[in-house]
Amino acid sequence: MEVGEIKKLDAYLKKLFDNQKMRVVPRPKKTDSVEVYLGEEFLGVLSLDDEDGDRSFNFNMAILDTDLE
């Protein structure tokens, strides 16, 4: 993903969740996805889907059962 696109995603998530602590960070050695954080807490991976010329983004967040305790 390009820097401008990452900034747009960052702004979108901050506005969507009304939280300025949301952060979208490029992944080392990966260009088709970014990492999403809330402050220092890793939330998940946001991936680019560019199939058939229709660009969309998929957010994948894993919740461990130990996180629920």
> 67: pLDDT confidence band, cut at 50, 70 and 90?
confident
Q: What share of the chain in percent tops pLDDT 90?
A: 74
Q: Residue 1: is its pLDDT beyond 90?
A: no
Taking only the tens place, the pLDDT of each residue in 31-56 is: 899 999 999 999 999 999 988 778 89
Q: What is the pTM of this model?
A: 0.87
Among 23, 27, 34, residue whose Cα is nearest residue 57: 34
